[in-house]
A and B are shown apart, each in its own frame.
Chain A
Amino acid sequence: MGSDSIANASIPMLSSNPKDFAKKKRANRSAKLKQCKLDARREQWLSQVKNKGSNEELNGGGGAPGQGMHVANERGLLMEKLVIKPRGDEEKENGGCTNNYSDFDSPSNSPTSDTSLLEGNDSGTNFTGASSSSSSSSSSSGGCCSGSMSEEDNEGDDGCLDDWEAVADALAATDKKQEQLSSSLDSAPERDENVVHVSSPEDPDRHESGLDVSKQKPWEPISPVSFRAWRPDDAFRPQSLPTLSKQYTFPMNLGQHYRGGSVWGCKSLSIPTSCPICCEDLDFTDTSFLPCPCGFRLCLFCHKRILEEDGRCPSCRKQYKHDPLEGETTEDAGSLTFRPTRSCSMISRS
């Protein structure tokens, strides 16, 4: 049942803005940051609705008094709904790419996002119903306002995406996680405001609510690791840079960091192009494979054969350990263990 509602939510999103969707798919590593951004945009949107609501009231008072009151009531109702379920319309705005998130999130995260998606869809449909009725009953200015707003939303999204990616990179580089993020979150509404050109009489109010949002979402920055551009054991991480930084950052930490100051440690900086055991060329998986603390590299094939025999490192003759050092070997196994959960969620969705 969840699958139906999710499909309903995501399909209009796809058809309305496929380019945007593709962009999001590509940039899924900053998914969390985008959610922050969406929060900010929702805040700004909320305040705009508030403004419009007040404008509407004025207009209604001038034109048709009875209908004006009705519109104001409906606006109030709408506002209530938005305030009560703030995540709902955010998720609805974001219907397409939330699917995307859960694909790439860790399996532990995906169930929560699923549930949030469900409730989001509920409130989303409620919200669209209310807005359509209000716009039909209200004056034409309200309708055109909402239309322009959504367009500007999309444009703002395109512009913002790169900015936020840049912010993400900067965050990864400086390694300041939570505080900086929340501060940038607070400053985000002002930036969006420039994009949409809204005069904001309720600015302080909005800022308060913006802070509230950042506080009321403890699930937002779940793992500081996800803000890094590359995880330390990421296979797609560039070879040279993290190796060097590790070498220089933890030269003493021989126990945990396997690129210690041994002779082979120096050699590991210049990764051999062929396996020293079988002399076959090392492929990408092999070069990112470091089975022993001494830094001796070999291909996975030879490593397996050695494990079948005496299981000792050819260089230092210590027993190979089955621990996180082999994180990159178990890459295949890892994806295998992850895959079931992913495929399950995919099936439930489609």
Chain B
Amino acid sequence: MQASRARLFKEYKEVQREKSADPDIQLVCDDSNIFKWTALIKGPSETPYDGGVFQLAFSVPEQYPLQPPQVRFLTKIFHPNVHFKTGEICLDILKNAWSPAWTLQSVCRAIIALMAHPEADSPLNCDSGNLLRSGDIRGYQSMARMYTRLAAMPKKG
């Protein structure tokens, strides 16, 4: 408990100090609870998510960093490895491949990398996974871009 608090506090200071280090990630801690974080990540370029800003919710367990944080998308996203309704993310480093050396910042980077390289063989979003597995890249990209525009881009007008 105390260890996770100290660790999160250090991560918080790190984030404050290097705010401009990674412009694609904006990591914010809840005002009253250091175990609740939200992140805004930019969709990687040359992907259907380009131009979108996706919000992530972090729920940090007390055993952190020995246990991985629970992360989910608050913004709707059409991605084979993200549950379309709950926003749950299927990512190995958030499950069995977690290492205490990871930070919330590095988790954000991993999620950005996952957005750029979807893994269709272990899908949480079956529709998206099936499109990719059947080779319908164009179908997948258009669906993903549509949802990016709908959910992750600021409304115009």
User: Which of B9, B97, B101 is in CB contact (< 8 Å) with A277?
Assistant: B101
B99 near A280 with CB under 8 A, answer: no
Q: Verify A279–B97 contact, CB threshold 8 A.
A: no
Interface string of B1-27 (1 = CB under 8 A from A): 001001101100000000000000000
Residues in B with CB closer than 8 Å to A314 are 99-101
Contact A278 B101 (CB under 8 A): no
CA A170 to CA B10, docked complex, whole Å: 46
Interface residues as binary, A282-316 with B (CB distance below 8 Å gives 1, 0 otherwise): 00000000000000101001100110010010110
B129 touches A (CB below 8 Å): no
Note all chain A residues with C-beta closer than 8 A to B10.
Answer: 274, 279
Classify the secondary structure of B's interface with A.
loop
Range for the number of chain B residues in contact with chain A: 10 to 19
Indicate if A317 sits at the interface (CB-CB under 8 A): yes
User: For the complex, is B66 an interface residue (Cβ under 8 Å from A)?
Assistant: yes
Contact of B7 among A277, A305, A312, A317 (CB under 8 A): A277
Query: Given A315-B99, A317-B97 in contact, is the A280-B6 Cβ separation under 8 Å?
Result: yes
- Report yes or no: B101 in contact with A296, Cβ–Cβ below 8 A: yes
Listed from nearest, the 6 A-B pairs whose CB atoms lie closest are A314-B101, A278-B3, A279-B10, A314-B100, A314-B99, A277-B100
Nearest-CB residue, chain A, relative to B13: A279
A-B contact count (CB 8 A): 37
| Closest-CB distance, B62 to chain A (whole angstroms) | 12
Q: Closest CB of chain A to B2's CB: distance in Å?
A: 9
Chain A residues closer than 8 Å to B97, beta-carbon distance: 317
| Chain A interface extent, by class | 10 to 19
Tell me if B65 counts as interface (CB < 8 A to partner A). yes
A312 to B102, CA, bound (A): 14
Query: Known interface pairs A277-B65, A309-B66. Does A315 touch B6 (Cβ–Cβ under 8 Å)?
Result: no
Residues in B neighbouring A315, C-beta threshold 8 A: 99, 101
* Subset of 12 A-B contacts with CB under 8 Å: A276-B101, A277-B7, A277-B66, A279-B3, A279-B10, A280-B3, A302-B66, A302-B100, A306-B66, A314-B100, A314-B101, A317-B99
Please state if B7 and A278 are interface contacts (CB–CB under 8 Å). Answer: yes
A279-B100 in contact given A305-B66, A306-B66, A309-B66 (Cβ < 8 Å): no
CA gap between A317 and B93 in the complex, in Å:
11
With A296-B101, A314-B101, A315-B99: A279-B6 Cβ-Cβ less than 8 Å: yes
